[in-house]
Structure 1
Amino acid sequence: MKNIFKSTLICAALVFAGACTDLDEVLVGEVTDQVDESEPSFGTFQGGGAGPSDELNSAYGQLRNSGSANHGGYWSVQSVSTDEMAVTQKGGDWYDGGIWIDMHRHTFTSTNGPIGGAWTQQYDAIGSCNTSIADGGLSANQLAQVKVLRAFFYYRLLDMYGRVKIVTESNVNPPQSTRAEVFNFVEGEILDALGIIGVTPLMDLSSSDLSASPNNYRINQFAALGLLAKLYLNAEVYTGTPRYQEAALAAGYVIDNGGYTLVDSNYSVPNLAKRPAVDSDPDNLTGYATIFAPDNFNNPEIIWSIPYDNVTGGGMNFSRMTLHYASQFSYNFSNQPWNGYSALEEFYNSYDNSDERKTANFIVGTQYDYEGSVIVDYAESSDLELIYTPEINELEPNASREGGARLGKFSFRQGGQQEMDNDMPIIRLGDMYLIRAEADARAAGDWSLALTDVNTIRARAGMPAFTSITADEFLAERGREMFMEVTRRQDLIRFGKFNEAWWEKPASGAFRNLFPIPQAQIDASGGTLTQNPGY
């Protein structure tokens, strides 16, 4: 039997306090549909949990607490400042004192809340690492892990702010270090954990305190080398001295010796977002899409990741950050999304329509609910159907509520809760291929040397091989692969593109390659912190 069911459609006013989002539901209208009288039910999802339990739980838990995959801190600052995405002002929604408009247009100042929050997030994480070290009782392996973990948070600070304080014990107020000094500290901690004095073609890791065994949630030799590869790839930006050969060697060692697999169409997982009545929803996800799925905890491409779980490891909320309020009906979410983040049209269009990553990374077009009915948005006067369009009419003040492809790379699941269950890769094999490709090309001054590794990545995406490649084409390819993985800002800076003009953003000064040191931190430092030039 069928019953008449009224599904009340709602829009939301987003009210911000600092970098937080609250939702006040406003009833807009009703649509009457015929649906089955039984409500859909979803079994308990067996995700990856919050990772292993050991003496390093507190320190590793800071990966979730440091803004890695949620709104308002590290991930947001790194991503919204690039040409990947924007948070548009939709009338009274998402203005938030102009902080996201400033981030997009590179007019941010030292009092910008998310920039200040990202600083605090990393130092809180470093404090937890320092406590774990000071408490003692760690094995040699655990001590090596926590030092590399601390170096990872300093790598973030090095990248964002440059000149920071290197704090290695509690209640100590060291002087502000130069960017080169912070680089040297990060490099030294990783090399020490690996038991080597430098990356060479014949390096021997047999004396490393880090394990060679795979463990997505703990730092092993390959995770440390992957982090070192990322550090060396950007060394010229950080210190003025290129280290591309070492970047290529570190990435190549991971590729050749780690035992990780570049997943392709032969690897699949169930599509947990499947709507039975929507024929376009595949039963399974394959290849690239599986790396970011809710059940990605055993994915053989991931070298080191952050474990997220709605019950025991919250902190990822991409579904709420990007989807329209009414998309709650597509996935039977327990909470309404916020309708904030969307991809820029030019970035979306940089993908060929046959690129499998385009399908995996974005949500566009007419939206359907779980029963296969078109979702209606009564707040749209021109067309009641909810249709995500790649075009965005303007950044502010009245951006379309449906404008912009939505961020779908970290895919959703039916019956999803407030927090998502997808793990966030920090180091994965696909990135290692691209780092080796770029580093080899830069070291030799010959971009043709990138072709083999780039074409390996393109083949996985179902794309034909390049016969030649330029620096700009490589940057575009890297962008297509690494979307949403907080590498785009680094990439644009390294290629000299970060301060160019793009949609609704004028050209910006080179000093914007560093974020300002938060004014609150300078004020509290007693004169021991000084501001980055230009701010």
Structure 2
Amino acid sequence: MKKTKLLLLATCAGITMMAGCAKLDENVLDESSVTGLTDKQIAEGAIAPVYARLPDIWLHTNYFALQEISTDEAILPYRGGTDWGDNGIYLQLHKHENVSSDVNVRNTWNNITQAQSRAVSAIEVLATNKDASAALFLAEARGMKAYYSMLTLDLFGVVFKKEDPKVTSTVLRGNDAVEYIKSELLAIEPVLDNTTGPGRITKAAVWGLLARLHLNAAVYRDRYAATFDFKKEDMDKVVEYCDKIIATPQFVLSPSYFALFDDANHTNKELIFAVDQRADLNGHNRMAYFSLSGDQFPIPAYTGANGTDGPGITSDFYRSWVNAYTPIDPAAADPRFYKQNLGIYTNPGDSCVDAAAFNINRGILRGQQYGLIRKNGVFLKCTSGKMLVGKLFYDTRSKPTKPVEFTEQCDFTVAGSDYNTGFRVSKYEFSKTSVSGRNFGEHDIVILRLADIYLMRAEAKLRRGDAAATALTDVNTVRASRTASTPAPALTSITLDLLFRERGFEFYWESQRRTDMVRFGKYEGTWTEKTSTDKQKRIFPIPLTAIDAASNLPGYLVQNPGY
């Protein structure tokens, strides 16, 4: 049998596979390894690597950082002058001062283009495979290539069109890129069904990606426009594809908002497409620990599983909640803002908790924090043997008298960069079953869920001029669905500005904010520590390593304007 390899590019420009690029050869299928394997085993061996880069793309310092810390939603200061300095990359990211050597930009680019390369190689293998599963796997590989292309288009303004691993990719931009991705997704839609999700691409996932592509097409076609031309035919397609998903009975809005981000969310019926992070797949993400304090220990089984005092939310984003619900506290008004799990916050005497029942609070965490108290490497216990829960101090920072009290202020001043500054986000559940809970999150990371389908449909209706009442119904359907607690009150009117605010409330910390801000014309605005109005910062620089790797093909890969 002919020897076949999955060629993975570490530093190449896109997926060009040209001379001079550094290549990581993964011998998934070669002459020796396939001896005795069935076509089914070969097919499965080809498709698995196509998905394998997703956890790396979605690592907290990669795609998440680019999509959130660059916005008015998240900020990561140089904590205490000792942590998260990282040569200023998070300060630059937030202020829109990125450079082409930024390591987070480079890592995100590399992971996405490596995933694309794997998809191209898998397509070549699966095209001649005789097993009954090959046609489905081939469609999935092609669909994932289209999804990865959507990421490069959104982040960097480029798409690499590649059908043959031995031929240099064609670089597409603007409308050509949009039409190419659309054609790839439409080609596979008839082959897929809805039985293999959410960790694999399905028919509904394709519909959702097509809706997202059409919704953002005006941005992608004219990246630096003063105003975007949202064409009616695009908005019609958004509504059409959203209608298809909403009419599919297997997808249901989750009654519990935070259940969407629990360890066991893989079976949540609201999820349409997600990064599969279940334990048996050795999922690796740090979404649950990234924002928490170093003195918050969410699981009694591990004294080393704590937070990292990473990003907080900006005062600007917090104030959007306050202004929406004043004089009612947003924690009381909207179940998406906060969920109390520890009784001590409202009952000071509730300081002894069974280890099996211990859960930190979820959502946006403010003020003095309470939790497990670690002294000399062990957690303190009550005389009953239960876990002692009390006021937390910065013992891990050698400041045992400084309370872990999260403040609204979070900026790049000395006062605003302390370890306790910024309200924190505990949206994804801290894993209780992985080896530490810190490095191996076991929740699926959401890429598409049903609430997004409703809100995309609402936006498309507004942008094509429908009666606002039809969009309002979609928005209120989502708000009313969280019946595990008192739902947020129905809105009485809807505008694009209110819908933008609503998307912030629904999708905070889900890596959607930058894309939303650009589409709604908010990305050149001013917020905490950010004053840049440069339209060229709507996309990121193509990494210098990729530009250098393409230098033997003059004019092939051109840097984005402004970098």
User: How does the TM-score come out when normalised to structure 1?
Assistant: 0.79
1:256 aligns with 2:247: yes
- Matched with 1:185 is 180
**What secondary structure is seen at the aligned counterpart in 2 of 1:372?**
strand
Whole-angstrom distance in 1 between the partners of 2:180 and 2:437: 41
Deviation, 1:398, is 6.3
1:481 aligns with 2:506: yes
**What secondary structure is seen at the aligned counterpart in 2 of 1:109?**
coil
Deviation sequence 1:235-264 (CA, Å, 0-9, x none): 111114631111111111100125211111
Letter of the aligned partner of 1:464 in structure 2?
P
Whole-angstrom distance in 1 between the partners of 2:318 and 2:442: 25
Cα pair distance change 1:514/1:295, threshold 3 Å: same
Deviation, 1:396, is 6.0
Q: Work out which of the residue numbers 98, 110, 129 in structure 2 matches 1:108.
A: 98
Q: Work out which of the residue numbers 428, 432, 445 in structure 2 matches 1:410.
A: 428
Deviation, 1:156, is 0.2
Whole-angstrom distance in 1 between the partners of 2:400 and 2:297: 22
Cα pair distance change 1:454/1:226, threshold 3 Å: same
Whole-angstrom distance in 1 between the partners of 2:158 and 2:297: 43
Cα pair distance change 1:54/1:261, threshold 3 Å: farther
1:120 aligns with 2:110: yes
- Matched with 1:96 is 86
1:148 aligns with 2:170: no
1:502 aligns with 2:530: no
Letter of the aligned partner of 2:173 in structure 1?
T
1:77 aligns with 2:46: no
Q: Work out which of the residue numbers 527, 535, 544 in structure 2 matches 1:519.
A: 544
- Matched with 1:323 is 292
Whole-angstrom distance in 1 between the partners of 2:298 and 2:201: 39
Task: Report % sequence identity.
Answer: 28
Cα pair distance change 1:125/1:214, threshold 3 Å: closer
Whole-angstrom distance in 2 between the partners of 1:408 and 1:384: 21
Alignment of 1:263-282 (within 5 A): 263-264=254-255
Whole-angstrom distance in 2 between the partners of 1:298 and 1:57: 21
Whole-angstrom distance in 2 between the partners of 1:223 and 1:322: 29
Whole-angstrom distance in 2 between the partners of 1:133 and 1:504: 46
Q: Work out which of the residue numbers 444, 447, 452 in structure 1 matches 2:473.
A: 452
Letter of the aligned partner of 1:402 in structure 2?
N
1:60 aligns with 2:51: yes
Whole-angstrom distance in 1 between the partners of 2:139 and 2:414: 48
Whole-angstrom distance in 2 between the partners of 1:530 and 1:445: 40
Q: Is this contact kept in 2: 1:64–1:313, CA < 8 A? A: no
**What secondary structure is seen at the aligned counterpart in 2 of 1:297?**
helix
Deviation, 1:55, is 5.0
1:159 aligns with 2:154: yes
Whole-angstrom distance in 2 between the partners of 1:310 and 1:114: 26
Letter of the aligned partner of 1:439 in structure 2?
A
Letter of the aligned partner of 2:427 in structure 1?
K
**Structure 2 residue runs without a partner (length 5+):** 1-43, 223-228, 322-329, 339-361, 373-386
**What secondary structure is seen at the aligned counterpart in 2 of 1:209?**
coil
1:357 aligns with 2:331: no
Deviation sequence 1:398-433 (CA, Å, 0-9, x none): 602011122211122446252111111211111100
Deviation, 1:456, is 1.0
Deviation, 1:448, is 4.1
**What secondary structure is seen at the aligned counterpart in 1 of 2:281?**
coil
Structure 1 outlier segments of 4+, above 3 Å: 309-312, 329-336, 378-383, 393-398, 445-449
**What secondary structure is seen at the aligned counterpart in 2 of 1:463?**
coil
**What secondary structure is seen at the aligned counterpart in 2 of 1:402?**
coil
1:210 aligns with 2:171: no
CA RMSD of aligned residues (A): 2.3
**What secondary structure is seen at the aligned counterpart in 2 of 1:368?**
strand
Deviation, 1:54, is 6.8
Deviation, 1:171, is 3.7
Letter of the aligned partner of 1:368 in structure 2?
G
Deviation sequence 1:454-501 (CA, Å, 0-9, x none): 111122351111111222111000111011221111111011001111
Deviation sequence 1:80-117 (CA, Å, 0-9, x none): 11111111111121111110000000011112111111
1:438 aligns with 2:459: yes
Q: Is this contact kept in 1: 2:288–2:427, CA < 8 A? A: no
Deviation sequence 1:188-218 (CA, Å, 0-9, x none): 0111112xxxxxxxxxxxxx11114363222
Letter of the aligned partner of 1:125 in structure 2?
A
Deviation, 1:435, is 0.4
Letter of the aligned partner of 1:303 in structure 2?
I
Cα pair distance change 1:500/1:125, threshold 3 Å: same
Whole-angstrom distance in 1 between the partners of 2:284 and 2:457: 31
Q: Is this contact kept in 2: 1:89–1:395, CA < 8 A? A: no
Deviation, 1:145, is 1.3
Deviation, 1:512, is 0.9
Whole-angstrom distance in 2 between the partners of 1:324 and 1:301: 30
Cα pair distance change 1:459/1:54, threshold 3 Å: farther
Whole-angstrom distance in 1 between the partners of 2:469 and 2:527: 28
Q: Which moved more, 1:139-148 or 1:101-110?
A: 139-148
- Matched with 2:442 is 421
Whole-angstrom distance in 2 between the partners of 1:380 and 1:440: 55
Q: Which moved more, 1:407-416 or 1:473-482?
A: 407-416
**What secondary structure is seen at the aligned counterpart in 1 of 2:337?**
helix
- Matched with 1:492 is 517
Q: Is this contact kept in 2: 1:214–1:303, CA < 8 A? A: no
Whole-angstrom distance in 2 between the partners of 1:86 and 1:417: 21
**Structure 1 residue runs without a partner (length 5+):** 1-52, 195-207, 265-286
Whole-angstrom distance in 2 between the partners of 1:99 and 1:416: 27
Cα pair distance change 1:58/1:530, threshold 3 Å: same
Cα pair distance change 1:261/1:54, threshold 3 Å: farther
Cα pair distance change 1:393/1:490, threshold 3 Å: closer
Q: Work out which of the residue numbers 205, 219, 230 in structure 1 matches 2:201.
A: 219
- Matched with 2:359 is none
Whole-angstrom distance in 2 between the partners of 1:153 and 1:363: 33
Deviation sequence 1:32-74 (CA, Å, 0-9, x none): xxxxxxxxxxxxxxxxxxxxx7752221222123x21x23212
Q: Is this contact kept in 2: 1:455–1:466, CA < 8 A? A: yes
Deviation, 1:388, is 2.1
1:346 aligns with 2:316: yes
- Matched with 2:273 is 304
- Matched with 1:130 is 120
Letter of the aligned partner of 1:362 in structure 2?
I
- Matched with 2:214 is 232
Letter of the aligned partner of 2:307 in structure 1?
P
Q: Is this contact kept in 2: 1:393–1:400, CA < 8 A? A: no
Deviation, 1:139, is 2.1
Cα pair distance change 1:416/1:174, threshold 3 Å: closer
Letter of the aligned partner of 2:390 in structure 1?
S
Whole-angstrom distance in 1 between the partners of 2:280 and 2:317: 34
Aligned positions, number: 447
